[in-house]
Amino acid sequence: MEKTIGNTTVNMGDDGYLVDLNEWNQEVATEIAQEEGITLTDEHWKVLEYLQNQHKKDVPLTIRNVGKSGVVDIKGFYALFPEGPLKKASRIAGIPKPVSCI
């Protein structure tokens, strides 16, 4: 499904996640974050960048990994992206929905 966000047209899956990370940009992220009720700050951007890098390296994302990343601790991660941090942050970062249970 095509969706126009600001000046960008992106392909979004039925689950609400971007299909192609290459279509992602900061404007897209800001808009998706707003849908999730989040206003992005420097702290958020650092986490998003970390998640994208992990995704590019094919590392499965887990809460534990994020907590050990040195970018943010688990408590901070929940504070930045309340109510489902890994799912919300992945959606804003333009990477696929996490499949991990932990």
Work out which of 20, 27, 35, 73 binds another protein, going by CB under 8 A: 73
Check if 101 is active-site. Answer: yes
Spatial separation of the C-alpha atoms in residues 96 and 15, rounded to whole Å: 9
Q: Which is closer to another protein, CB of 25 or CB of 78?
A: 78
- HSE of 7 in the Cβ direction (CA atoms, 13 Å)? 3
Q: How many CB atoms lie within 10 A of CB 10?
A: 21
Interaction of residue 87 with another protein, rule CB under 8 A? yes
Q: How far is the CB of 30 from another protein (least distance, A)?
A: 21
**Spatial distance between the Cα atoms of 71 and 80, rounded to a whole number of angstroms:** 12
Give me the residues that bind another protein (CB under 8 A), please.
60, 62-65, 67, 73-75, 78, 82-87, 100-102
